[in-house]
Amino acid sequence: MQFVEQPADILARLDALRAADAPTHGGHVLSYVYDSGLAELDELAAAAIRVVQPVNGLDPTTFTSVAVMEGEVVGFARDLLGGDDDVVGSVTTGGTESCLLAVKTARDLWSGSGRPRLVAPVTAHAAFQKAAHYFGLDLDLVPVEQDGRVDAATLIARLGPDVALVVVSAPSYPHAALDPIEAVAAAAAEWGIPCHVDACIGGWVLPFWPGLEPWDFRVPGVTSISADLHKFGYAPKGVSVLLQRGRDRQRAQFFATTRWPGYPVVNPTMLGSKSAGALAAGWAITHALGRSGLAELAASCERSTVALISLIDSIEGLRVVGTPVGPLIAVATDATAPAHRQVDPHHWADQVRAHGWLLQLQPGLVQSDGTQLPPTTHLTITPVTEGVLADLSGALVTAADEMRGVPGVAPADVFGALPHDLVASLSSPDAPPLDSATAFAILAGIGLESSDAGGLPDRMAPFLALVAALPAPLTERLLTELVARVVEPR
Ligand SMILES: *Cc1c(COP(=O)(O)O)cnc(C)c1O
């Protein structure tokens, strides 16, 4: 066959495209990527992916390698998370899929009438909002305290016969708060309500974190746990586990049908045909690292986290939110400092970025009880952080010095570019849905139309101010437009 383009040219172009990405190695991106710092581990993962490249993970009875690898990964995770042999599980393509399936399972097992309700702290990952939307549950989001932790009694007071599932996090993504899992799971068990622990980010690192109260299957009443191998399991993207206590519970996760003229379908997860690549990579990594390797990497994360918490707390005008549990930190303005000495966390993140480090901006939130969670900046710490700690610390301090006293972006500054009556009419509850041309024109009006390379502006603080200021449905529509346009053919 004469190819239209030559493989070497195609790969050269891919290399050029990759060079424009945020760096996936080296510790300069403090979210999205989880770098063990061990090149041999990346190579092992790549080799494992290559071996199973042609396999269809749809059918572990035809491709028996999939059954063996999945069983071993689930077994490893079960031991790690305190499960006995009543705990079974599935490998999924990621945290979102694990969370979706936990909710789907609970909905299908719920025997009440009317609409089922999902109760979770407002800090529960957005995947649970998606799950409630996809699977038709009412979402009951419970306000959290200023330290990001939900009060057990407040959450427990929301339980009732219409609740199909209660979700708690170990820890939460926004603030690294470990929810009061023992108390919530015990109350849920009394009601006969299943309790899911979302350990997508913590599942492969908290087992090695010192001084924690029990939060896994050792806690009676915990019925399922999600834990992502593609986070602190250091696997490439596309692999997570969902463990369920009780075979009968887990069987409700499956979809099976023989009612079509094709092959009998039995899907434990959302996809049909699927890659076995990330499973093979995750499997290989768990075998290479074992518990001792994971423990060593967790210890490195912990040393860096402790150092960064004390550094950030020593920066005038900033503070660490609550008591982070695990290798992630949320940073907010220290409102006890005089106004001219305060540091806005989003200006700080933008300035840290100018120094070559990518932090993640998180918007503030008005909770359902009217209390306000402040805007924050998120850092995820990985093993590779330790080797760059001095440089990173320098950038964090310098950026704070450069931004100290600069007030946060006021919504009026962002809306300035938009006609006032347009904002008012768009924000009205009975405004018609935005068409994509109008949405795009608004994005352009505020300077947010994406560049040719699809990247976002250097300064994200104005963007986050917009997210916080506009009504959520409008922002969500604008963000949909932004992301949809990014991938449109050019
Ligand atoms: C990352 C994460 C998820 C979602 O996982 P994806 O792999 O991004 O789909 C869910 N919950 C928590 C706590 C997470 O950190």
Residue 71 is part of a domain; what is its CATH number? 3.40.640.10
What is residue 440's predicted lDDT score, i.e. its pLDDT? 92
Helix, strand counts (H, E) of the chain? 16, 15
- Whose CA is closest to atom 12 on ligand 1? 200
Read off the pLDDT band of 450 (50, 70, 90).
Answer: low
Say if 68 falls within a structural domain: yes
Q: What is the mean pLDDT of residues 114-129?
A: 98
List the residue whose alpha carbon is closest to atom 5 of ligand 1.
Answer: 95
Q: Are 265 and 256 in contact (CB under 8 A)?
A: yes
Nearest ligand 1 atom to the CA of 201 is: 15
Q: How many domains does the chain have?
A: 2
Q: Which of 323-327, 366-370, 467-471 has the lowest mean pLDDT?
A: 467-471
Ligand 1 atom, smallest distance to 199 CA? 13
Ligand 1 neighbourhood includes 100 CB (under 6 angstroms) = no
**Which residue's alpha carbon is at the smallest distance from atom 4 of ligand 1?**
95
| Residue 81 included in any domain | yes
Pairing of strands 138-142, 163-169: unpaired
Tell me the backbone φ, ψ of residue 240, rounded to 5 degrees.
Answer: -150, 165
Ligand 1 centre distance from Cα of residue 415 (Å): 32
Contact partners, residue 77, CB within 8 Å, separation at least 6: 89, 203, 227, 241, 243
Does the Cβ of 169 fall within 6 Å of ligand 1? Answer: yes
Pocket of ligand 1 contains residue 96 by CB under 6 Å = yes
Is 360 touching ligand 1 by the criterion CB < 6 Å?
no
56-65, 250-259, 354-363, 453-462, range with the lowest pLDDT: 453-462
CB of 95 within 6 A of ligand 1: the answer is yes
In a domain, 116, yes or no: yes
30 and 262 in contact (C-beta within 8 Å)?
A: no
pLDDT of residue 257: 98
At 448, the pLDDT band (50, 70, 90 cuts) reads confident
253 lines ligand 1 (CB under 6 A): no
pLDDT band at 451 (very low <50, low <70, confident <90, very high): low
Kindly give the distance from the C-alpha atom of residue 32 to the centroid of ligand 1, in angstroms, as a whole number: 10
> Using CA atoms, how far apart are residues 356 and 90, in angstroms rounded to an integer?
39
Summary mean pLDDT of the chain: 95
> What does the pLDDT read at residue 427?
73
Is pLDDT above 70 for 329?
Answer: yes
402 lies in some domain: no
| Alpha carbon separation from 459 to 171, 397, 448, 487 (Å, rounded) | 29, 19, 11, 21
Q: How far is the CA of 37 from the centre of ligand 1 (A)?
A: 21
Q: Residue 421: pLDDT above 80?
A: no
CA dist., res. 284 & res. 196, Å (int): 27
Is ligand 1 within 6 A of the CB of residue 99? yes
Q: Is pLDDT of 119 > 60?
A: yes
pLDDT value at 361 more than 60:
yes
| pLDDT for residue 90 is more than 70 | yes
Task: Indicate the pLDDT class of residue 455, thresholds 50, 70 and 90.
Answer: low
Q: Is the pLDDT of residue 472 over 60?
A: yes
Question: What pTM was estimated for this model as a whole?
Answer: 0.96
Structural domain contains residue 416: yes
Question: Where in the sequence is the domain holding 268, given as residue range(s)?
Answer: 46-286
Average pLDDT over every residue of 69-85: 98
Instruction: Answer yes or no: is 251 within a domain.
Output: yes
Verify whether ligand 1 is closer than 6 Å to residue 198 (CB atom): yes
Is 417's pLDDT higher than 90?
no
What sign has the CA pseudo-torsion 144, 149, 151, 152?
positive
In a domain, 391, yes or no: no
- Whether 438 maps to a domain, the answer reads yes
- The answer to whether residues 191 and 55 belong to one domain is yes
How many Å lie between the centroid of ligand 1 and the Cα of residue 125?
7
Distance from Cα 294 to the centre of ligand 1, integer Å: 19
Confidence of residue 447 (pLDDT cuts 50, 70, 90): confident
Q: Are residues 114 and 252 in the same domain?
A: yes
